[in-house]
Amino acid sequence: MKRNTKKYNLKFFLIFALPTLLIFILVMVIPFFYGLLMSFTNTNGMSRFSWVGFQNYITVFNDSRFWNSFGVTIKYVIACVILTNILGFVIAYLVTRGIKGQNFLRAAFFTPNLLGGIVLGLIWNFIFRQVLVNVGTKLNIPIFKDTWLADPDKALWTLIIVTVWQLSGYMMIIYVAGFTGISKDVLEAADIDGCNSLQKIVKIEMPLMVPSFVICIFLTLSKCFMVYDTNISLTKGEPFGSTVLISYNIYREAFNNHNYATGQAEAFVLFIIIAVLSIVQVHIGKKMEVEQ
Amino acid sequence: MNGSKIQSKTSKVVSSVILWILLIFFIMPFFIVIVDSFKSNAEIMENPLNLTAHPTINNFVKAFVQMNYPSAFLNTFIITLLSVLLITILSAMTAYYIVRCKGKTGSFIFYSLVASMMLPFQAIMIPLVSIYGNLGLLSNRLTLVFMYIGFGCGMAVFIFHGFIKTGIPISLEEAAKIDGATLMQTFFMIVLPLLKPVIATIVVLDVLWIWNDYLLPSLVLTQPWQLTMPLSTYSFAGQMSINFGPLIASLLLTILPVLIIYVFLQKYIIEGIVAGSVKM
C-alpha cells in the first residue's frame, strides 16, 4: 500500500507538475542566474569573456547616460502614476452614479488597452506630428504650431499623455469594482447623517477603497517602469536622447552597443528598484486598509 | 427628500456631460485613424480631421500587400492560440498538483513561481537571447511559444491555485476515484470544467499580452515570414515615414481584429480584467 502511494505521488508529479516546471526552469530560472553571472563578466554574448567583479556595476553607477535615462524614467513614472490614477478614479466615480449608458462608457474608456504599445505609439506619433500641428496652424494656437516631438521639454509629455490615455481606462475598471464593492448600507447611513457627496467620497469611499488603490498604483508603477514599445514607436528616444526610458536604454546598451554585461547590470538595477518599490508600496497600502 | 432627488438628478446630468466630453477625447485617435485611412496623402496633409469626398482603398491595398498582412495575421494567431492553450492547460495541471499533493514539493514550486512574477522581463532578456542564440534556437516560432509558457505560467498558476483551493470540493474527486477514474480522467472530466470562470480570466489577460507583445518576438523572430503583427506594423511604419495614408491604413488593419472581437466579448473581457487584477 505504501509503495503504491509513493508510485502514485511520483506519477502525479511527473504528469502534472514536471512539464511546467521544466519550461519555467529553462525560460526563467536558468537565464536569471546566468544573467547574474553575466553581470560580473565582460561578455558581449559571443566571444570569450573573463571575470571583472563589480566593474559593470561601477560603470553603470558612473554612466551619465544611465542616470539621465533613470531621471527621465522617474519623471515619467511619477507623472503617469499620479495622472492615471486620478483620471481613472474620477471616471470610475462618474460611471458608477447610475447614469444611462454607463456600461457602454466603461467599455469605451477601456478600448485603448486592447492595443499594443507599438500601434498606440504610431497613432499618437501621427497625431503629434501631423494632426495637432495642422490644427494649431489653422486655428493659430501657438502651443501646437510646432510638433511636441521635436521639443526636448515637451517630448516626454507626449509619452506621458499616451500612457495616461491608455492606462486610465484600465485602472477605471478596477476602481469601478472597488466602488461597487462598497455596501449600500454604509452610504445610506452617511446620507441619513447628512453627509454631502464630497464628504462621502473623502471620508467613506476612498478609505474603503484602499485595496483598489494598492492594486492600481502597483500596476501603474510596474507597467510604467517597464515601458518599451510606446517609447520606440512614439519618440524613439528623440529629440537629442531626451526621452530614452530605462528599458530602452538597457536594450540599446545590450543590443545596439553590444555591451551585454553592462546592459545586464543595468537590468538588475532596474529589477531591484522595482522590487523594493512594489514591496514598500504594498506594505504601506496594507497598513492603510480599513474594515467595512 | 424632494430636494435631494432633484440634486441627484442634476448630479447625474453633470456626470453624463463630463463623461461624454471625456469620451470624445478618448476616441478621437480612433476616429482620426478611421477617417484618414480612406484619404490620399495630400488630403491628409491638407486636413487630417475631415471626411473625404473621394474615399479610396488604395492605402489598404498597399498596406495589406507590403506588410504581408495574411502571413503576419496567421503568425500572430497561431502563436497566441498555441501559447494561451498550453499556458492554460499546463498551469491548471500544476496548480492542481500544488493544491492536492502531500508534502513540501508543491509549496516550493508555488513560491518559486510567485517570486518569478516580480521579475521584470528586462532582467531576463539579455541572458535569454544569449543562451538560446548560442544553442541556435532563435528564429523559430515554436521557441517563442515555449518562452511564452515560461513567462506566463507564474501568474496563471497563481490564479488557478487560489481558485482550486477555495472553489473545488475534494469530495467530488474522491467520488470519481471510487468509481474507478484515473488521475487524468478526474482532472480533465471533473476539475477542468469547474475551472471555466478562471480560465476565461487567464485567456483574456494572456491573449491581450501575447497578441500585442513586441519586445520578446522582436528578439526571437528574425525572418520576414515569421513576423507577428506588431513587428510587421512597426517595420512597415519605418518604410512609410511620411507617407501617412498607407501607414494609417496598416494601423487600422492591425487594430481591426481585436476591435471586432471586443464588440462581441467586451463583457467577458472586462470581467476577466477585474478578476485578474483583484487576485493579484
Q: What is the pLDDT of residue B280?
A: 55
Handedness of CA B210, B215, B221, B224 (dihedral sign): positive
Any A CB within 8 A of B103 CB: yes
Domain of A192? 63-288
**In chain B, which among 107-166 make CB contacts under 8 A with chain A?**
109, 112-113, 116, 118-131, 133, 146-147, 149-151, 153-154, 157
User: Cell numbers at residue B221, please?
Assistant: 523572430
**In chain A, which among 199-228 make CB contacts under 8 A with chain B?**
215, 218-219, 222, 225-226, 228
Each residue of B217-260: pLDDT tens digit? 999 998 888 899 999 989 888 887 778 888 888 889 888 888 88
Pairwise CB contact (< 8 Å): A26 & B19: no
Pairwise CB contact (< 8 Å): A219 & B94: no
ipTM of model: 0.86
Read off the pLDDT of each residue in A282-292 and give the average, rounded to a whole number. Answer: 75
Q: What is the pLDDT of residue B279?
A: 62
**In chain A, which among 56-75 make CB contacts under 8 A with chain B?**
none
Residue B204 predicted with pLDDT over 90: no
Count the domains in chain A: 1
Read off the CATH number of the domain in which A86 is found.
1.10.3720.10
The residue of chain A nearest to residue B248, with distances taken between CA atoms, is A123
Any A CB within 8 A of B213 CB: yes
Residue A292 predicted with pLDDT over 70: no
Pairwise CB contact (< 8 Å): B97 & A12: yes
DSSP letters, chain A, are: -HHHHHHHHHHHIIIIIHHHHHHHIIIIIHHHHHHHHHTTB---SSS---B-TTHHHHHHHT-HHHHHHHHHHHHHHHHHHHHHHHHHHHHHHHTTS--TTHHHHHHHHHGGGGS-HHHHHHHHHHIIIIIHHHHHHHHT-HHHHS-GGG-TTTHHHHHHHHHHHHHHHHHHHHHHHHHHTS-HHHHHHHHHTT--HHHIIIIIIHHHTHHHHHHHHHHHHHHHHT--HHIIIIITT-STTTT--HHHHHHIIIIIS--HHHHHHHHHHHHHHHHHHHHHHHHHHHHH----
Any A CB within 8 A of B260 CB: no
**Closest among A255, A260, A107 to B27, alpha carbons compared:** A107
**Closest among B65, B242, B216, B75 to B147, alpha carbons compared:** B216
pLDDT band at A2 (very low <50, low <70, confident <90, very high): low
Name the residue among A24, A225, A267 with its Cβ closest to that of B126. A267
Read off the pLDDT of each residue in A203-217 and give the average, rounded to a whole number. Answer: 85
**A7 assigned to some structural domain:** no
Of A157-161, B4-8, B159-163, the range with the lowest mean pLDDT is B4-8
**In chain B, which among 62-81 make CB contacts under 8 A with chain A?**
none
pTM of this structure = 0.88
Name the residue among B44, B109, B146 with its Cβ closest to that of A21. B109
**A10 assigned to some structural domain:** no
**A68 assigned to some structural domain:** yes
In order of their start, the domains of chain B are: 71-241+266-278 (1.10.3720.10)
Name the residue among B45, B118, B237 with its Cβ closest to that of A122. B237
Q: What is the pLDDT of residue B5?
A: 61
DSSP letters, B130-199, are: HHHHHTT--S-HHHHHHHHHHHHHHHHHHHHHHHHHHHS-HHHHHHHHHTT--HHHIIIIIIHHHTHHHH
| Residues paired with A41 in a beta bridge | A51
Name the residue among B29, B183, B254 with its Cβ closest to that of A127. B29
**In chain A, which among 25-54 make CB contacts under 8 A with chain B?**
26-32, 34-35, 38, 43, 45
Q: What is the pLDDT of residue B1?
A: 43
Residue B186 predicted with pLDDT over 90: no
User: Closest Cα of chain B to A17: distance in Å?
Assistant: 5
Q: What is the pLDDT of residue B87?
A: 96
**A161 assigned to some structural domain:** yes
**Percent of chain A scoring above 90 in pLDDT:** 26
Residue B57 predicted with pLDDT over 80: yes
User: Cell numbers at residue B34, please?
Assistant: 478611421
Pairwise CB contact (< 8 Å): A97 & B213: no
The backbone torsions φ and ψ at residue A51, rounded to the nearest 5 degrees and listed phi first, read -75, 140
Q: What is the pLDDT of residue A31?
A: 93
**A56 assigned to some structural domain:** no
Q: Across chain B, what does the average pLDDT equal?
A: 86
**A262 assigned to some structural domain:** yes
Residue B252, C-beta contacts closer than 8 angstroms, at least 6 positions apart: B33, B34, B37, B60
